Amino acid sequence: MSFSQDVKKEIASAIPEARHCCTAFLSGITLLLSDISYSPSSGLRILYQSENVAVIRICFTLLRKTIRISADVQMRSGKTPVYRLMLKGKEAEETLTLLKMHPGDRQVNSLLYERSCCRRNLIRGAFLAGGSVSDPQGSYHMEIVCSSMECAENLKEIIGSFNVESRITGRKNSFIVYLKEGDDIVTMLNIMEAPGALMDMENARIYKDMRNTVNRRVNCETANIKKTVSAAVRQVNDIEYIKEKRGFGFLDDALREMAEVRLAHPEAALKELGNFLDPPVGKSGVNHRLRKLSSIADDLRRNQYDQENS
């Protein structure tokens, strides 16, 4: 089972007690999942349809808690089973009256989410009907698919009432309300009352932060090692060039000792090289002498070049 499915399962397992919260929950599902139609021959119809049986079951439960219905959940077999709940006639009319909706409405009446608890349940219903969230082990992404811009903007406004900034983008014939920040998704899981999923995400975030910290330190240490090795190779090459072209006899005692110590310990760090000198010298002193030797090597190379091209 995916992380997104776990979140939906947790949301579906908690039915609100208050009738107004049940109504808000149902309105979120109806907004995204239902197909509302009317014709003179068949009258008013509301069809709830999903491949997720838990969504249809909770829809049925919410309808039973708010109005008395006699419709049954049906399954349409196929490669992927589809579960359906059809409301007709009086039941459909009562449902729209309860939700303060009309057949063409693609947004929720503001009277249904005046309370904070109702806004929470409306978002829960919307996510259950058309939402998904990526596994927090990877990238952070949560979205709710809406059929119209009107619906998406309505949902964005309701989410924004909890100080969560969502965005809207188009995808084929749908409009997506989405979040990309880990902190916002954690807040949304809290809003939707999914503590188990919230804990799983926080644990994943802690693990990722620790892993990224370790990787940064390893990369930093690796870079420092490469830098140290590269500098040591360059210093050894410079000293060997001096030795080949002029020898160490023209160097003063400090530089000659430094050159001999570096050749004897090509892999040593600056601090270690300083301890090999007599008397010991600090890192800055060692670095100064090595830079002086490199400068001498550069002068010898320039002189060699000038003689060869004169």
Mean pLDDT of 166-180: 92
Q: Residue 83 forms beta bridges with which residues?
A: 50, 75
Please check the confidence at residue 164 and state whether its pLDDT lies above 70: yes
Please check the confidence at residue 79 and state whether its pLDDT lies above 70: yes
Please check the confidence at residue 240 and state whether its pLDDT lies above 80: yes
Mean pLDDT of 225-241: 87
The two structure tokens encoding residue 224: 């420092």
Q: How many residues does the chain have?
A: 310
Tell me phi and psi for residue 106, to 5 degrees: -125, 30
Please check the confidence at residue 105 and state whether its pLDDT lies above 70: yes
Pairing state between β 142-146 and 82-88 = unpaired
Q: What is the pLDDT of residues 182-204, one digit of tens each?
A: 899 999 999 999 989 889 888 88
Q: What is the pLDDT of residue 213?
A: 86
| Beta-sheet strands, E only, within 131-232 | 131-133, 142-146, 167-171, 174-179
Tell me phi and psi for residue 71, to 5 degrees: -70, 150
Q: What is the pLDDT of residue 145?
A: 93
The two structure tokens encoding residue 149: 């811009």
Q: Per-residue confidence at 214, pLDDT binned at 50, 70, 90?
A: confident
Please check the confidence at residue 72 and state whether its pLDDT lies above 90: no
Q: Break the chain into its structural domains and give their ranges.
A: 3-193, 219-308
Distance (Å, rounded) from C-alpha 292 to C-alpha 286?
10
Distance (Å, rounded) from C-alpha 39 to C-alpha 265?
92
Q: Per-residue confidence at 74, pLDDT binned at 50, 70, 90?
A: confident
Q: What is the pLDDT of residue 51?
A: 87
Q: What is the pLDDT of residue 306?
A: 64
What is the maximal distance between C-alpha atoms in the chain?
112
Q: What is the pLDDT of residue 310?
A: 61
| Beta-sheet strands, E only, within 186-280 | none
Mean pLDDT of 30-35: 89
Q: What is the pLDDT of residue 131?
A: 93
Mean pLDDT of 211-222: 86
Q: What is the pLDDT of residues 254-296, one digit of tens each?
A: 999 998 999 999 888 888 888 999 899 898 999 999 999 999 9
Tell me phi and psi for residue 38, to 5 degrees: -145, 135
Q: What is the pLDDT of residues 37-55, one digit of tens each?
A: 888 888 888 999 888 888 8
Mean pLDDT of 56-84: 85
Write down the pTM of the prediction.
0.70
The two structure tokens encoding residue 272: 């270690």
Distance (Å, rounded) from C-alpha 62 to C-alpha 12?
11
Q: What is the pLDDT of residue 309?
A: 66
Domain 3-193 has CATH 3.90.960.10: no
Q: What is the pLDDT of residues 90-104, one digit of tens each?
A: 888 899 899 988 877
Q: What is the residue-averaged pLDDT of the chain?
A: 88
Residue 164 in 3-state DSSP? coil
Please check the confidence at residue 176 and state whether its pLDDT lies above 80: yes
